[in-house]
């Protein structure tokens, strides 16, 4: 299906209105997975013409996404990746884990960005970062699209490597997201050391429910479930 290529419109706007010179596009992958880290990429691209076919990683075939990531690694001005582990996700919740992974990525860049274009409608970064959120930024903004592809390819590679010791779960194919193979293995064998144990999927597995981790919510709030996929997915 044809799609509009991403542009530098948002970056040009930020440069004009805030004086920012170095602007990073930020995107995440793995938010809704049952296993593995959540991964965030921060990419700085400048205003150069992007590689042909650049768009949201989810719209690309595996082959094209992998080829494009290889091209992007030398095309971008700079990029860095940050991860939050399943243990960190269980301990602090997804929003805080996303921020942790994003800060790790941003702080690993060779030069601190003056502003950040963040994919989506929620600013999970906050101060002191100057953030512009853009819904579907991974389709419309060059730097965010580049971050989307780089994050997806790297996390998929990580999950395939983790899956070597857990072949029954099919991590190389499902990247830790629910799939028939993943769900069947989980029901039979229980969670691996790479699974998120505070996730709601364990509620549907009576034989493994005792492993579920429940965080204490001292402020009276309720656990966040945004992005979690139920076992009947």
Binding-site residues from annotation for a divalent metal cation: 27-28, 119
Structure token digits, residue 11: 């970056």
Of 229, 226, 45, 40, nearest to 150 (Cα)? 40
Torsion of CA 204, 39, 29, 59, to 10 degrees: -140
Instruction: Specify the DSSP element, H or E, that contains 55.
Output: none
Residues forming a β-bridge with 23? 115
Task: Point out the annotated binding site.
Answer: 27-28, 119
DSSP string, 178-228: --HHHHHHHHHH---TTB-TTSGGGGG-TTTGGG------TTS-----TT-
* Beta carbons within 10 angstroms of residue 5's beta carbon: 14
3-state secondary structure of 5: coil
CA distance 13 to 23: 11
Residues found in the chain: 233
Is 119 in contact with 137 (CB distance < 8 Å)?
yes
């Amino acid at each position: 299906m044809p799609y509009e290529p991403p542009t530098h419109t948002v970056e040009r706007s930020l440069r004009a209105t805030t004086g920012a010179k170095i602007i990073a596009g930020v995107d995440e992958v793995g938010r809704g997975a049952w296993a593995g880290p959540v991964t965030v990429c921060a990419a700085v691209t400048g205003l150069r013409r992007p590689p042909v076919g650049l768009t949201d990683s989810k719209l690309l075939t595996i082959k094209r996404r992998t080829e494009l990531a290889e091209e992007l690694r030398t095309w971008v001005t700079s990029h860095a990746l940050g991860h939050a582990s399943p243990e960190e996700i269980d301990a602090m919740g997804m929003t805080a884990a996303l921020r942790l992974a994003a800060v790790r990525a941003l702080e690993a860049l060779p030069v601190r960005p003056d502003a950040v274009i963040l994919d989506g409608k929620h600013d999970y970064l906050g101060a002191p970062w100057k953030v512009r959120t853009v819904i579907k930024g991974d389709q419309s903004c060059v730097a965010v699209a580049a971050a989307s592809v780089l994050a997806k390819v790297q996390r998929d590679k990580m999950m395939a490597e983790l899956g070597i010791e857990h072949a029954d779960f099919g991590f190389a194919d499902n990247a830790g997201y629910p799939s028939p193979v993943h769900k069947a293995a989980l029901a039979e064998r229980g969670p691996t050391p790479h699974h998120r144990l505070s996730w709601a999927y364990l509620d549907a597995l009576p034989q493994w429910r005792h492993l579920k981790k429940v965080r204490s919510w001292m402020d009276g709030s309720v656990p966040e479930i945004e992005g979690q996929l139920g076992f009947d997915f």
